[in-house]
C-alpha cells in the first residue's frame, strides 16, 4: 500500500489529553519539534490515527493540523534553518 508523508502538529489544552496525543504521534512518526511530527502513513494508518486522535481530543479546546507533503517517492522538500535536523529516511527501517 502506498505511503504518503504528512506533517502533523497539535495544540492540546488538557495535560492528560496532551500525553495521550503525544504518545499516538510518537507511535506513528518522528518528532521534529515539541508538538510537530513527520509521519509516513498509508491511507489506513492515517484513518486509524485520525480516528483515535479525534476520540481523545476535546474538539472545542484542542486542534490537530495535518499537512500532506506528498507520496514517499516524491515528497515535498523539507528545509531546516539553523541547527540541522535528521529527517526520517524513507522505506523500511530495522530497529
* pLDDT 10s digits, 52-62: 999 999 999 99
Q: Which of left, alpha, beta for 91 (phi over 0: left; psi -120 to 50: alpha)?
A: left
Decide yes or no: CATH 3.30.420.40 for domain 4-71. no
What's the pLDDT at 75?
77
Task: Please tell me the pTM assigned to this model.
Answer: 0.82
Q: Cell 493540523 appears where? A: 65
| Nine cell digits for residue 82 | 539553523
Amino acid at each position: 500500500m502506498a505511503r504518503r508523508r504528512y506533517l502533523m502538529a497539535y495544540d492540546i489544552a488538557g495535560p492528560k489529553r496532551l500525553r495521550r496525543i503525544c504518545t499516538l504521534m510518537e507511535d506513528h512518526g518522528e518528532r521534529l519539534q515539541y508538538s510537530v511530527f513527520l509521519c509516513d502513513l498509508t491511507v489506513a494508518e492515517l484513518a486509524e490515527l485520525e480516528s483515535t486522535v479525534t476520540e481523545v481530543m476535546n474538539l472545542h479546546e484542542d486542534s490537530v493540523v495535518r499537512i500532506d507533503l506528498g507520496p514517499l517517492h516524491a515528497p515535498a522538500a523539507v528545509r531546516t534553518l539553523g541547527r540541522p535536523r535528521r529527517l526520517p529516511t524513507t522505506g523500511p527501517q530495522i530497529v
